[in-house]
Amino acid sequence: MGLFSGAAPPATPASMAPALAPPPLLRVYPAGRHRARGYRSARLNTLSSANGRRRTALMAGGGARKGNQITENSPVAGGDEQVMDGPPKIPERDFAGTPYVPVYVMLPLGVINMKCEVVDPEDLMKQLKILKSVNVDGVMIDCWWGIVEAHAPQEYNWNGYKQLFQMVRELNLKLQVVMSFHECGGNVGDDVYIPLPHWVREIGRSNPDIYFTDREGRRNQECLSWGIDKERVLRGRTAVEVYFDYMRSFRVECNEFFEDGIIAEIEVGLGPCGELRYSSYPAKYGWRYPGIGEFQCYDQYLLKSLRKAAEARGHSSWARGPDNAGSYNSRPHETGFFRDGGDYDSYYGRFFLGWYSQVLVDHADRVLSLANFAFEGINIAAKISGIHWWYKTASHAAELAAGFYNPCNRDGYAPIAAMLRKHDAALNFTCVELRTLDQHEDFPEAMADPEGLVWQVLNAAWDVCIPVASENALPCYDRDGYNKILENAKPLNDPDGRHLSAFTYLRLSSVLLERDNFLEFERFVKRMHGEGVLDLHL
């Protein structure tokens, strides 16, 4: 959910004594209703992590990630290796007495295998106990469509997930569950591959237009095109019917965990990486940061929708995508469409971008409507990606290609927030740990502004009184990154007392569990919970 999502830093262990019981509810409503220090020295290879939360492979000094095993340097073994630099010398804000923000931790991508079995339940239970020891509120888990409905339509296997949920319940932790209707893997840095269901890929072989398609005709099999939301091309069902049947099966099969209150929230996957966006910057087709990406509207179903919109507007010649928008790794000023004064702000450009972004909003509207029906009375959420590169240009090219119609003269996130408000859904946003200054130091050409983007999106959501949660995009393990997350989680002197409803840390790993890292993480959890710490740098 890095440069392209949101990132946070990790930390280290703490006392095993239980803390004060947190509030029972996941959401904390607004009033009325990171970078890791190693990030700058590391080179970002790429960013998308295919599980719905984006990730970047960090090539920092010999520190390859070691998977999900507890190592000699974990708190269980009492190791003392230091992974990142010491605390920053800048003053820190005291968060003692501030609102309680729940902290969740994403479980590893490969915790459930393709047979829907828990891979190593004993080791996982050890790690869950470690998280519990520092009063983490719960964990997040992806329920992969490609595992559960792998072989035939409406034949579901939830066995491994139910076993995992039972383990979580035994420790009195909460669950954020993601309905993951996308592929996991296929991007640089991904260590797990979970494709879409076999029967869906069979359909795709004879009808590749079920996938998002770029101008050159390349198909992206990460997820299904929104053009088939209402097309009966999936063995007699539409895409939204397939999603609804899956969600309804989960609600029935896992009813006991809903009844017990273990499942605190359902995050509904709405696109690639589980995020509400087009697949505009796929690493598999050569995209590299900070390329602007490409429009993904060239499957026959979206082109038919565009044709209808152009005819309704009275300009049938507009039934086409831009022919001067560059390629995946173009810069805005190199294109006739995105350059300052470019065609993005012409009559045609405004028509096309309005249609393209409305398709995104309409898709989320349809799926969340059915999610509310399937999960009546349960908190639901949608994830929005933090596309912060080229934010300081007039066109905001990377956002436009991803479906966010957010040039400098228009608020592209307000319509999304209004749609979420309609469904009483929370907004989960990324990149809360990134600092704009760091982006300028590492990639000055990207004209990035993650802090400006975070502020815009949070306020768009708070303006319509919906809960806002967040997660990190890059692996972060240092105090500087955590402090940035805390600043965004609990804005200083906000007159309405607004704050994040929850924060989810990406992700549980052996690196996080190394002693010094985990101690720093424990300190972060305490401050998110509004507790005081003794070693503030004032």
Residue 23 tokens read as 């509030």
Instruction: Kindly list the distances between the CA atom of residue 495 and the CA atoms of 27, 30, 40, 490, 491, in Å, as whole numbers in the listed order.
Output: 20, 11, 34, 12, 10
Annotated catalytic, 471? yes
Instruction: Kindly list the distances between the CA atom of residue 35 and the CA atoms of 8, 10, 84, in Å, as whole numbers in the listed order.
Output: 6, 10, 12
Is 507 labeled as ligand-binding? yes
Is 388 labeled as ligand-binding? yes
Q: Which of 449, 453, 471 is nearest to 381 (CA)?
A: 471
Identified catalytic residue from 149, 183, 231, 275:
275
**Could you tell me which residues are beta bridge partners of residue 318?**
none
DSSP for 354-423, written as a single string = HHHHHHHHHHHHHHHHHHHHHTTTS-EEEEE----TTTTSSS-HHHHHHT----TTS-SSHHHHHHHHHT
Q: Which of 186, 248, 254, 191 is nearest to 223 (CA)?
A: 186
Q: Which of 320, 314, 318 is nearest to 295 (CA)?
A: 320
Residue 171 DSSP label: T
- Dist. CA 368–CA 267, nearest whole Å: 10
Query: Residue 366, Cα to own-chain centre: how many angstroms?
Result: 20
The position carrying tokens 């893997």 is 185
The position carrying tokens 């994830």 is 383
Is 430 labeled as ligand-binding? yes
Annotated catalytic, 256? no
Is 472 labeled as ligand-binding? yes
Is 493 labeled as ligand-binding? no
Is 411 labeled as ligand-binding? no
- Dist. CA 3–CA 1, nearest whole Å: 10
Which secondary-structure segment (H or E) carries 427?
Answer: strand 426-429
Is 31 labeled as ligand-binding? no
Identified catalytic residue from 222, 471, 514, 522:
471
3-state SS, one letter per residue, for 333-351:
HHCCCCCCCCHHHCHHHHH
Binding site per annotation, positions for substrate: 142, 182, 190, 383, 388, 430, 472-473, 507
Report the catalytic residues: 275, 471
Binding site per annotation, positions: 142, 182, 190, 383, 388, 430, 472-473, 507
